[in-house]
Structure 1
Amino acid sequence: MPINLQMPALSPTMEEGTLSKWLVKEGDTVSSGDLLAEIETDKATMEFEAIDEGVIAKIVVAEGTDNVKVGDVIAIIAEDGEEVSDVEAAPAPKATAKPAVKAPTPAPASKAEPAAAPQKMEAAVDGRVKASPLARRLAEQKGVDLAAVSGSGPSGRIVKADIDSAKGGTAPVKSETATPVPSAAPAPTATSGDFDIPHSTEKLSGMRKTIARRLTEAKQTIPHIYLTVDIELDKLLKLRGELNKSLEPRGIKLSVNDLLIKALAVALVQVPKCNVSIDGDQLKTFERADISVAVSIPGGLITPIVTSADSKSLSQISTEMGDLAERAKAGKLKMHEYQGGTASISNMGMFGIKNFDAVINPPQAMIMAIGAGQKRPHVIDDSLQIATIMSATGSFDHRAIDGADGAQLMKVFKELCENPLGMLA
């Protein structure tokens, strides 16, 4: 019996996706575990594996198709012994029909409305002629017939310069008793003044739509509180150099971010009131620190998770983070590798950003924003010296975390970074 291959739900929030690319073609034999397609979800582009064995009898949904609903049949597999030619194709998912644009219904003529008639006539002219709002106003003031003017703007649009060079007195006389002409829906006008700005357009990916929706929800529904500390990094940088020398034979090179992930994880365990999440009318307090790390990828941002970062060695964190980041950029993360986490860290120091406020990634209740380490004048032992200073800003969900508890976390994070041996003990 033929097997209907359905659009899978590759994330808990996925309702539809884009079938980006087929990795098989009709007539190919597939086995369980074979890669069938690349599917763009609301989180990332992921590979879809076969569960059943057989031959691809029919590809129902072409690659590049958007808005394929979860559960829609995307292909049909013929089982052993079945003739591929005998397999009936399942109906392709119906495209969502766009509502037809309804032409405006002309209003019935009033018996005595002398003031309204000129406006209706003007609307009829505007509906036929492509002109900017300013050009229309100037044409009316100067008595210029827009229908007799050649537009020099984009797509023949009439702009101010065309009206300035046109001769006045050619506009038709507006009759108060004229029968209004039903007009087509007015063409959209530019929002940038008289002239359209040259531009290109690109369809938003599922990931970009999700980022826009989630960040909007986060800022609208989560009361953010921001706390910033300046951290002296010289001891941490020195320790990193020493550790990298000892790890060189193993081919491991620690980044500053690896040490900061560890510091945040240890701080969260030491200040458990910040290692929390709001779940309806309940507050969850987590027993381990799973750190979501913001990674920029083509078309958006994804946050792969270093699980149990508080108990892992720096070499483990570094190796794991390198693998996660590489697979994130290739779109090959598995769902459990970016879904969850108890807190996030976002480092923009490599771009020279001194400090910034990050948006909380719900359902988490905090995110740490890391700025660049810079040489700055700094008071050390009551004397002004030059030190490497980094600004870190914690964003906290004030529904779940009080300001004093957030301040305590920032204090512990600062102490661990300034005395990094403490996070290794």
Structure 2
Amino acid sequence: MATTVRMPEVLTGVTEAAIQTWLVEPGQEVAVGTPIAEVETDKAVVEYAAEVAGTVLEVLVDAGDPVAIGDPIAVIGAPGESAAPDEPGPDEAAPAETADASAPAPAPAPARAAPSAPAASNGHDADAPRRFLSPIVRRLVREWDLDLTGVDGSGPGGRVVRRDVDALVAERREAASAPAAPAAAPTAPAAAPAAATPAPAADDASVEEVPLTGMRRAIARRLAESKSTVPHFYVEADCRVDRLLELRRQVNEASPVRVSVNDFVLKAVAGALVDVPDANATWGETVIHRHRSVDVAVAVAIDGGLVTPVLRGVDRMSLSEVHATVADLAERARAGRLKQHELEGGSFSVSNLGMYGVSAFSAIINPPHAGILAVGAARQVPVVEDGELAVGTVMTVTLSADHRVVDGAVGAEWLQAFVRRIENPLSILV
């Protein structure tokens, strides 16, 4: 019997994801463990492998369409077997999937949809195969009351896919916005036009509409939830980094691995979490989780979004190990090859925009972490040394903390410990 492949919960707490790329196509044989798709979530693109062996009979979801966790995405079975998946969910049997001659025809009917047909040819024939639609297609069909009778889909095997429905919606919009023909013989004086259903705004050549990816949609949802449900407070400090930059120069002269300022920052963050263990914690609704391991997430910009892979045991790493680990995670993040466990855990994040010349900023906490450090660029500014004016190199950092877990005094103590290590960089190495 054919097996339904459903959208996996690749990351804890994710409610929807999208297929970024299909790695297989209908008719292709797969074994258990064969990568079949790259699944895009709010945190990363994760490779998903087949859990059953067989032939890919059909893919049910277009790349880029958001899909709820657990919804069907493909069918795997024996060659020649029917592509009808096992145990169809209630949504798959929704009336919107096929046209019903007994139902009232929508008005106005889409230009590409054929008129109502006799029951023998309307898709409910007892011998006719069911039409499987992706969740986003089903939603659009319901929202726009579309009639799919006679529509030849452009997807595999003639399946109706997102672009087909978008074309029908565009035709429906054109019909709604077209001016109505004048009446042949009005029997009363002309009156003001009746209020009609508002038409969508006219296309503006100066505005480009960029479709939301699954990752961008999920990032928006998660950060909006964080900002609205997590009580943020902010603590800012300036760090003198002249000694750190000199130490980095010496390290890079003596080592084959060239370390960055960000590597020192990550080590200083880990050291401060060791110095102030109350800050190494996360909110647990009924408890506060105090972490024994110092695991720190680092923000990595990728095409179309942001991911935060986690470094484990940063306090026990050398600078060169931190550098190599971050480089590896960043490279695989941009290639969509991160593993699930590399995106979960930790209590703290670091976001560094210094390489873009940003002097200071405040970051939004990445739940369930209790804090994130926003790091600005090192810049030369006037400073006072022993009562005299001089030029020093200063880096501004801003701690965003979850007030449910970290009190103001604890946040200030942690930031003080961080600054102390940055301004005395030899403490980072020992």
- Alignment match, 1:106: none
Are residues 1:367 and 2:372 paired? yes
- Alignment match, 1:208: 216
Counterparts in 2 of 1:334 and 1:128: CA distance versus 1, 3 Å: closer
Counterparts in 2 of 1:65 and 1:212: CA distance versus 1, 3 Å: closer
SS in 1 for 2:80: helix
- Alignment match, 1:224: 232
Indicate if the aligned counterparts of 2:26 and 2:59 stay in contact, CA closer than 8 A: no
- Alignment match, 2:266: 261
User: What is the deviation of 1:182?
Assistant: 5.4
Query: Aligned partners of 2:75, 2:178: CA distance in 1, in Å?
Result: 52
Counterparts in 2 of 1:296 and 1:370: CA distance versus 1, 3 Å: same
Are residues 1:293 and 2:276 paired? no
Query: Aligned partners of 1:378, 1:203: CA distance in 2, in Å?
Result: 48
SS in 2 for 1:262: helix
- Alignment match, 1:155: none
- Alignment match, 2:49: 49
User: What is the deviation of 1:2?
Assistant: 3.5
Query: Aligned partners of 1:227, 1:198: CA distance in 2, in Å?
Result: 41
Are residues 1:319 and 2:319 paired? no
Query: Aligned partners of 2:417, 2:357: CA distance in 1, in Å?
Result: 25
Of 318, 326, 346, the match for 2:351: 346
Are residues 1:5 and 2:5 paired? yes
SS in 2 for 1:350: helix
Listed as ranges, the matches of 1:85-124 within 5 Å are: 85-90=80-85, 92-93=132-133, 95-96=138-139, 97-100=141-144
Residues 179-203 of structure 1, C-alpha deviations (whole Å, 9 max, x = no match): 887553122457xxxx956111111
Counterparts in 2 of 1:273 and 1:98: CA distance versus 1, 3 Å: same
TM-score (norm 1): 0.75
Residues 305-350 of structure 1, C-alpha deviations (whole Å, 9 max, x = no match): 1111111111111100000011111121112111222101111111
Counterparts in 2 of 1:196 and 1:376: CA distance versus 1, 3 Å: same
SS in 1 for 2:249: helix
SS in 1 for 2:316: coil
Query: Aligned partners of 1:334, 1:300: CA distance in 2, in Å?
Result: 17
Counterparts in 2 of 1:345 and 1:54: CA distance versus 1, 3 Å: same
Query: Aligned partners of 1:4, 1:100: CA distance in 2, in Å?
Result: 28
**5+ unaligned residues in a row in structure 1: which ranges?**
103-126, 131-146, 149-173
Counterparts in 2 of 1:186 and 1:53: CA distance versus 1, 3 Å: closer
Of 273, 279, 287, the match for 1:274: 279
Aligned residues: 348
Are residues 1:328 and 2:351 paired? no
The code of the aligned residue for 1:327 comes to R
Query: Aligned partners of 1:290, 1:213: CA distance in 2, in Å?
Result: 25
- Spell out structure 1 runs of 4+ moving beyond 6 A: 127-130, 178-181
- Alignment match, 1:198: 206
SS in 2 for 1:198: coil
Query: Aligned partners of 1:76, 1:189: CA distance in 2, in Å?
Result: 40
User: What is the deviation of 1:40?
Assistant: 1.9
The code of the aligned residue for 2:281 comes to V
Indicate if the aligned counterparts of 1:19 and 1:40 stay in contact, CA closer than 8 A: yes
The code of the aligned residue for 2:251 comes to L
Query: Aligned partners of 1:399, 1:54: CA distance in 2, in Å?
Result: 50
Indicate if the aligned counterparts of 1:269 and 1:288 stay in contact, CA closer than 8 A: no
Listed as ranges, the matches of 1:381-420 within 5 Å are: 381-420=386-425
Counterparts in 2 of 1:74 and 1:403: CA distance versus 1, 3 Å: closer
Are residues 1:305 and 2:310 paired? yes
Are residues 1:76 and 2:84 paired? no
Indicate if the aligned counterparts of 2:244 and 2:423 stay in contact, CA closer than 8 A: yes
Counterparts in 2 of 1:185 and 1:263: CA distance versus 1, 3 Å: same
Counterparts in 2 of 1:327 and 1:407: CA distance versus 1, 3 Å: same
- Alignment match, 1:21: 21
Q: Which moved more, 1:68-77 or 1:311-320?
A: 68-77
Indicate if the aligned counterparts of 2:43 and 2:308 stay in contact, CA closer than 8 A: no
The code of the aligned residue for 1:208 comes to R
User: What is the deviation of 1:211?
Assistant: 1.6
Query: Aligned partners of 2:227, 2:413: CA distance in 1, in Å?
Result: 24
User: What is the deviation of 1:93?
Assistant: 4.7
SS in 1 for 2:143: coil
Query: Aligned partners of 1:369, 1:128: CA distance in 2, in Å?
Result: 48
Residues 150-202 of structure 1, C-alpha deviations (whole Å, 9 max, x = no match): xxxxxxxxxxxxxxxxxxxxxxxx96xx7887553122457xxxx95611111
Query: Aligned partners of 1:186, 1:26: CA distance in 2, in Å?
Result: 43
Q: Which moved more, 1:280-289 or 1:368-377?
A: 280-289
- Alignment match, 2:242: 234
Q: Which moved more, 1:300-309 or 1:44-53?
A: 44-53
- Alignment match, 1:32: 32
- Alignment match, 1:186: 198
The code of the aligned residue for 1:3 comes to T
**5+ unaligned residues in a row in structure 2: which ranges?**
86-129, 147-175, 183-187
User: What is the deviation of 1:351?
Assistant: 0.8
Indicate if the aligned counterparts of 1:18 and 1:66 stay in contact, CA closer than 8 A: yes
Counterparts in 2 of 1:375 and 1:66: CA distance versus 1, 3 Å: same
SS in 2 for 1:185: coil
Once the two structures are aligned, what percentage of the paired residues are identical?
40
